[in-house]
Amino acid sequence: MDRLFLGFALGLCILLGVLAGVLVYRPVGDWLAERRREREMRRIFEQTNRQQQLERLARRRELYLGFRNAAAAMVEELADGAGRWSSFYLTRDLLREITAKAEPGVAMAARQMCFVAQVMLNEGFSDELSVRFNQAMHRYDTACREDLAVAEQQSWPSTAGSDGGDGSAVVEGAMSETGLVEPEEVADGRVERRYFRVL
């Protein structure tokens, strides 16, 4: 009799356990599924946000580099005696965009470059103005590196510096510390010194 009662009690416990499991399984399963969906949505959001930040940083880098190349190309034309106001207008338009979108330090350095280029366009190419342009370009490069480094760190601190972290892509392959590059030998054998280089 005791064994029968014990078996009945054990069976009842098992049955209650199964019923409890059935009742609990669905809400727990729904909760776990909801957690998985939340994690997946958070992952997608973070990935999308990171991609947007990368695109914004790339557009900023492209703007900085475009202005730099336009200004340097205009001075190259002046050095060759073929300066055009159309080149200056292109540089000035890019300057306006930088002034509207960039940090004050970058905008100020860009204005200095544009000012020297305009003086050179008005007064003609000279070594003195070339050196001044080179110095302005060097300040611009430095300001761009600093601005891009800060923007990168603010966008994703955990991965900042993965590509150097200093915005060096803006001026990769650019001038040396002094800004001077090796003299170039032209077709007729003369040696011409350049104070700038288009990337």
Whole-number pLDDT of residue 166: 45
CB atoms within 10 A of CB 115: 14
* Contact present, 71 and 114 (Cβ < 8 Å): yes
Record the pTM: 0.60
Q: How many Cα atoms occupy the beta-carbon half-sphere of 26 within 13 Å? A: 4
Whole-number pLDDT of residue 169: 42
CB atoms within 10 A of CB 101: 13
Quick one: which H or E segment has residue 75? helix 2-79
Angstrom distances, CA of residue 93 to CA of 71, 90, 142, 189: 11, 5, 22, 38
- Please state the domain extents for the chain: 56-192
Whole-number pLDDT of residue 108: 92
Nearest Cα residue to 91 out of 108, 119, 66: 66
Task: Give the residue carrying structure tokens 């965009």.
Answer: 97
Whole-number pLDDT of residue 120: 86
Residue ranges of the chain with per-residue pLDDT less than 70 = 1-12, 15-26, 28, 83, 155-199
